[in-house]
Structure 1
Amino acid sequence: MPPYTEPDFSLLRDALGPLRDREQVAGRLLEASRKHAYDPDTELDWEAPFEPGLWFWPPELVSLYGTPLWHRMSEEQRIALSRHEAVSLASLGIWFEIVLIQLLVRHVYDKSPTSDHVRYALTEIADECRHSMMFARMIRTIGEPAYPVPRLHHNLARVLKSVSTTPGSFAATLLGEEILDWMQRLTFPDERVQPLVRGVTRIHVIEEARHVRYAREELRRQMVTAPRWQREFTRLGSGEAARVFSDCFVNPRVYEAVGLDRREAVAQVRASGHRTEVMRSGAKRLTDFFDDIGMLRGPGRRLWRSSGLLA
């Protein structure tokens, strides 16, 4: 095996464009956080009753939308499914944000605690703690049980939190944030959806925009400066993470909760052209960015395709 040589950073910078100053980016994000931070406990009306006939998630984003099974369901059953899928997604969000918090702590552990880059990471950790509590309170208010991710993926995340490289951590961050963000941007202005759910998604979208900016800037930097093995490992790891995330997006138990046959429902979701388009549309901004910075290459790209998130 030939000895490892550092990449030609000048060529990589030319390919990816100029890197922004890390401290300047963090300083702007800290200022935005000061101006646009929300306390869900006081911003949202948690005591208001749910409105009859309103959805808990836009119907077009419900997993079974447009399938033969969907057409056989009553309107009441469809709305009930949206209720359970909203809880399932909130449960996934809590799991993911707890993982993200630990990845961010690892990222800043050896860095200067007085830098703006670290101060913003700590600000984001505080945001994610509030978001997790907000999602948990929404689940309790809706009144359905939380839907944990499969035990295998839950335990694999323990490994990820311990061995993830810095670029891998930020790639996973974007994967977990950007698809849900796309869906939530469609949810919070939708007057067919319950006001509480709209309020939760609005807060999350506003604050997550800063998190996405932070992760994109750092991942772009890492794809220039990280050792080659880390970049290759990140390409593979992000592809596998995309496959896991796609599998976990909706817990199959939601179908049983509304009286549907689980196997039939899962099969119809997998065969649904509409659902495939929804997931790819949600991932498109992310996959375009990953393509631009050289993430979607080799075996990693094949894993992304197998996830259904990349055409």
Structure 2
Amino acid sequence: MLDRLSDKATADYYNPFTTFDWPSSLPADELWMSPELLSVHGTELMDELSPAQLRDLSRWESVNFYSLNVHGIRELLIEVTRRIHTPGFELPSEFFHHFVGEENDHMWFFATFCLRYAGKIYPDKSVRLPEAPRDPAVENFLVFARILVFEQIVDHYNVHLAADARLHPTIRHINRLHHQDESRHIAFGRRLVRLLWNRLLRDGLDEAAREDLRDYLTRYLAVSTGSFYNPAAYRDAGVPGGFALRERLLDHPGRRAADARVLQKTTGFLRRIGVFDA
């Protein structure tokens, strides 16, 4: 599998610094994010906000999405480079080189989008989960489980945005290229996470430790989806009461259902391999 993925990465290689023809600006009166992916979709706010407000929100939630990618990629690059060519990761290290190179390219073009068209990258405001000392094997599993969660959430958005003809070609191009690479990373991540989980079970992971891992990943899923509800994006879009709005949306049944759809592939996979209960 690693040989196939490495060969595909080589065949699909592109130079991000020459691939994009960045326009000087993107139209402010057009959508930058599919309405179905906005954090207010499925709530009464979709009707309460004017078309102009929804366009503004689509612009700033687009910037928030790409900012989240910058921060998420930085974290995964740190974790993967810590493990490349180390004991236990001899086999995937060749693919790690493709992975690291591609993720570095992704971070560059997401950051470039934010800085060119918004003049900023939203800071990382996500809640940091407490880290307790863990067995290295458990830590390896959690690192690659977090990477898989992040990549599958992002890919859900990429697929939708790449196919949305209402969006500017530059936006569609970014998301199409990212999905192309992430499809390989996700295939690799699923295989590795399953392998690392099975090794934990083989080595006698007890029920208390299993419950701790379930609890950690459940909280990580909530933190990950919660990062799409950014009060700063509401403020920049001219939507008042950003923090109160965030809490209102996080508790809204329509948004809970939407977040569950975003996480569906991830939670389904974790149930299939036995991390989550049925």
Please state which band the TM-score falls in when normalised by the shorter chain: 0.7 to 0.9
Q: Tell me the residue number matched to 1:146.
A: 121
User: Which stretch shifts more, 137-146 or 266-275?
Assistant: 266-275
Deviation at 1:67, TM superposition (A): 2.7
Q: Tell me the residue number matched to 1:166.
A: 140
Cα distance in 2, alignment partners of residues 149 and 215 from structure 1:
24
**1:123 paired to 2:98:** yes
Cα distance in 2, alignment partners of residues 142 and 101 from structure 1:
25
> Which of 44, 53, 77 is residue 77 of structure 1 equivalent to?
53
Deviations 1:6-57 (A, max 9, x none): xxxxxxxxxxxxxxxxxxx211110010111233332222025424542111
**One-letter amino acid of the counterpart of residue 119, structure 1:** E
Q: Tell me the residue number matched to 1:281.
A: 261
Q: How many residues align?
A: 271
In the TM superposition, 1:246-265 aligns within 5 A as 246-260=225-239, 261-265=241-245
**1:208 paired to 2:182:** yes
Other structure's SS at 2:260 match = helix
> Which of 196, 220, 223 is residue 197 of structure 2 equivalent to?
223
Q: Please say if residues 194 and 273 of structure 2, whose CA atoms lie closer than 8 Å, have aligned partners that are also in contact.
A: yes
Other structure's SS at 2:263 match = helix
Cα distance in 1, alignment partners of residues 169 and 244 from structure 2:
32
Deviation at 1:81, TM superposition (A): 0.7
Closer, same or farther in 2 for the Cα pair 1:267/1:110, shift >3 Å?
A: closer
Cα distance in 2, alignment partners of residues 270 and 97 from structure 1:
25
Query: What's the C-alpha RMSD, in Å, of the aligned pairs?
Result: 2.6
Deviations 1:198-251 (A, max 9, x none): 111111100001111111101111111123167555333212211221222232
In the TM superposition, 1:156-195 aligns within 5 A as 165-195=139-169
Q: Please say if residues 184 and 205 of structure 1, whose CA atoms lie closer than 8 Å, have aligned partners that are also in contact.
A: yes
Deviation at 1:280, TM superposition (A): 1.1
**1:47 paired to 2:23:** yes
**Structure 1 alignment gaps of length 5 or more:** 1-24, 302-311
**Structure 2 alignment gaps of length 5 or more:** none
Cα distance in 1, alignment partners of residues 180 and 26 from structure 2:
24
Cα distance in 1, alignment partners of residues 268 and 63 from structure 2:
29
> Which of 157, 166, 171 is residue 197 of structure 1 equivalent to?
171
Cα distance in 1, alignment partners of residues 7 and 273 from structure 2:
27
Closer, same or farther in 2 for the Cα pair 1:112/1:175, shift >3 Å?
A: closer
Q: What stretches of structure 1 move > 6 A for 4+ residues in a row?
A: 157-160
Other structure's SS at 2:276 match = coil
> Which of 194, 219, 222 is residue 243 of structure 1 equivalent to?
222
TM value normalised by structure 2: 0.87
Q: Please say if residues 69 and 265 of structure 1, whose CA atoms lie closer than 8 Å, have aligned partners that are also in contact.
A: no
Deviation at 1:272, TM superposition (A): 3.4
Deviations 1:254-287 (A, max 9, x none): 1111222214422442243332222111111111
Other structure's SS at 1:221 match = helix
Deviation at 1:148, TM superposition (A): 1.6
Other structure's SS at 2:3 match = helix
Deviation at 1:293, TM superposition (A): 0.4
Closer, same or farther in 2 for the Cα pair 1:157/1:42, shift >3 Å?
A: farther
Deviation at 1:184, TM superposition (A): 1.3
TM value normalised by structure 1: 0.79
Cα distance in 2, alignment partners of residues 267 and 215 from structure 1:
32
> Which of 29, 33, 43 is residue 67 of structure 1 equivalent to?
43
